[in-house]
Structure 1
Amino acid sequence: MRETLSFLLHTLGDFLVLLLLARFYLQAARIPFKQPIGQFVLALTNWIVLPARRIIKPIGVYDSSSLLIAALTAYLMHFSLLWLSPWPYLFADVFSQLALLAAALLELFKMSLYLLFAAAVGQAILSWVTPYHPMMPVFNGLTAPFLRPLRRIIPPISGVDITPLILILLIQLFLNVFVADFEKYLLYQVRLPS
């Protein structure tokens, strides 16, 4: 029962964090919410973002309420998952709270990389199949800041731009080598001393 509840909490928590980050990045990249994915994100996040905007004001053009709610969701998700685990954890310690906060921020970073990964995959597939698909401006808007430096280094090969594939490989490398181990380390810091 505990494993099922943990799985549901982790899945729903990550999904909400992903939606809130998508809202934040779409707005930061000034991508209109007219396309279906934008409407989907708005429909599933308005219930929590719109009331929070009364308290949390935007910082410049950035939707700080979406980002702060995503961070709070990640924090509560990790707190709940540790509380449900059979291992003893010390939540009252300041160092443990800092480790949980760092794990929540790492969760935001990880979910941001997953969003970028999905946008790069979508862009790569659509550029080969239907380059004028309505989703292409969304993918281009999200990936352009990361592909621009790569395109300066790696020119097209026989007219084929392979930089989205390079970006996908770099994201996978970063997620598998650095993020996974660092997340385990942070959550281990919350455990009770032996």
Structure 2
Amino acid sequence: MLFQIITFLLDVVVGLLTGLCLLRLYMQAQRIPFSNPVGRLVFALTDWIILPLRKIVPASGRWDASSAIAAYLLQMLQYVLLWLMMGAGGGQALWLPWLALCGVLRVALSGCVGIVLIYTILSWVQTRSPIAMVMERLAEPLLRPVRKVMPLIGGIDLSPLVLLVLLQIGLMVLAYIQAGVLM
């Protein structure tokens, strides 16, 4: 039971920090100003890991490699800690980098689900808050490819629903691949 509690807490804390690093990466790629409440929160919670990495891997272009590396290192740390807690079996250590990559992808897909859900809910209530504008700018690039294929049905945009289903399928496939490595 203690192992399950520690695993859960590690997953929550590391998942949150990984998600924030990936959100920082995505917000920078979308050129969303960090002067809004979401941006300030992301900076406040990720500067401690990203700023030291920037000295080693400077930012170039739209994509901030130090944010991606930070997300990967956080996931790697989580899997190393879990591996050590389970007794540090020799052969399984080779799979830790792969598991960390799957962990980053899982957090990225889950983050996309969260962005689409929050965007959809905020679009229903028609709020014009700074957070709603940020969520719109984050969700639109994700929804655009689905909207090209999925027409409005009765004047209603079902692209968020279709995207959520596709993201859930992606999470299932990722879980299957990750479990296949561990078998």
TM over 0.5: yes
Equivalent position to 1:182, from 157, 177, 181: 177
3-state SS in 1 of match to 2:55:
coil
Distance 1:152 1:2, change over 3 A: closer
Q: What residue identity is the alignment partner of 1:89?
A: G
Contact 2:75 2:104 survives alignment (8 Å): yes
Equivalent position to 2:129, from 121, 130, 133: 133
Q: What residue identity is the alignment partner of 2:16?
A: F
Q: Distance in 2 between matches of 1:114 and 1:3?
A: 21
Instruction: Report the CA distance between 1:154 and its aligned residue.
Output: 1.3
Equivalent position to 2:166, from 164, 167, 170: 170
The structure with the greater share of residues assigned to helix is 2
CA RMSD of aligned residues (A): 1.9
3-state SS in 2 of match to 1:143:
helix
Q: What residue identity is the alignment partner of 1:12?
A: V
| Identical positions, percent | 34
Contact 2:37 2:130 survives alignment (8 Å): no
Aligned length: 182
Query: What residue ranges of structure 1 are gaps of 5+ in the alignment?
Result: 190-194
Contact 1:24 1:63 survives alignment (8 Å): yes
Equivalent position to 1:109, from 84, 105, 113: 105
Instruction: Report the CA distance between 1:140 and its aligned residue.
Output: 2.6
3-state SS in 2 of match to 1:135:
helix
Give matches, 1:86-97, under 5 Å: 89-90=89-90, 96-97=93-94
Q: Which has the higher contact order (CA 8 A, sep 6+)?
A: 1
TM-score of the superposed pair, with normalisation by structure 1? 0.85
TM-score of the superposed pair, with normalisation by structure 2? 0.89
Q: Which residue number corresponds to residue 54 of structure 2?
A: 53
Q: Distance in 2 between matches of 1:152 and 1:26?
A: 23
Q: What residue identity is the alignment partner of 1:185?
A: G
Instruction: Report the CA distance between 1:131 and its aligned residue.
Output: 5.0
Q: Which residue number corresponds to residue 151 of structure 2?
A: 155
Q: Distance in 1 between matches of 2:152 and 2:132?
A: 19
Q: What residue identity is the alignment partner of 2:155?
A: G
Contact 2:36 2:130 survives alignment (8 Å): yes
Q: Which residue number corresponds to residue 43 of structure 2?
A: 42
Range moving further from structure 2, 145-154 or 18-27: 145-154
Instruction: Report the CA distance between 1:18 and its aligned residue.
Output: 0.9
Range moving further from structure 2, 156-165 or 132-141: 132-141
